[in-house]
Chain A
Amino acid sequence: MPDQLPLTPRQRQDLRTVAAMIIPASEEYRVPGADDDAIQVDMLATLGRDAKLVGEALDHLARLAGMPLADLDPAARDGVIKEFRETGGAAAATLVRVVLQCYYRDERVLRSLGLEARAPFPKGHVLQDGDWSLLDPVKARARTMRQVS
């Protein structure tokens, strides 16, 4: 399977590393990090039209790091990421967005947020009617729209 994926092994390794830097796992919130296996599989499987820009972003990251990102010491890694975010442009933004959009549809993450992991349709949502008496002061004001003549 891996050889059929849109990224090289080195790119996949760096993607996993940077994903964990964006969203690390949290025991407090009982959520995985964005480097979680299932989330990584989702990212790679659904890259689609984003594959080109994500690949460019990871190539840029590799040039800045000069070695696998995970092999850098933490301070050097933070420095590389800072420069990556400053200079990565649309490609870096796409990479970050891909990480976030896959993370925030993961069932465990949504459950932690109190959300259901499902498509909106067909169940939909229930909306409270709200307090319509709030409109009374607006109705009470003697105002009209601008008259033409």
Chain B
Amino acid sequence: MGKTFTTPKALSKNHTHYCPGCTHGIVHRLVAEAIDDLGIQGKTVGIAPVGCAVLAYNYFDCDFQEAAHGRAPAIATGIKRVRPDLMVFTYQGDGDLASIGMGEIIHAANRGEKFTTIFINNAIYGMTGGQMAPTTMPGQRATTAPTGRNTADTGMPIRMANLLAELVTPGYVTRQAVLKPQQVNKTKKAIKQAFQYQMENRCFSFVEVVSTCPTNWGLTPLDALKWAEDTLLPYYELGDFKVPE
């Protein structure tokens, strides 16, 4: 019997800097597995965000370009427009994509740019140390919302997948999670599907992944999974929000 579990080729051998219990590592692996499955490592270009995944290029083994905060979809647009034969994906967190990068993601999605966005939603700014994000839940504590997010003052959390699905332009928009093994499997399928749509030159594809940030939530990894299940999933509903016809 041969090996049944190996490191994906599109993943480097480097140790990550992610905190214990952080789910970035899972999603990195899923992206790398999709790249391997589709045999596109040699023509894939990733765009790293600003935030915890800024060093994502240390953990993938494919060409990578590093963006300014929120600008990854504009960089991906530039690459994909001039080299439509390349497979291009952005990997962005919620501070990056849903706050400072809102303009870039909306317009890239609305133009139907033929690249893929992996959107990690853990309801907080990670790299800068736990500040409130547009996705932070009502009452959730953050360093810039020490008594909990006051929605009368800061509005309600933004549901990016719902928002992008409202655009009339065709696209693939889905929200998945990596809190349980079944969810991980579904997320893998969604990521692979997103890349397949890109390979077929069909549409913009967007995979939101509900994730955890035990460090900045102040929870143990296991408690973080439970908190996400109990608090995030009722608000961030899982499933496909839009599929191309």
Physical interaction between A and B: no
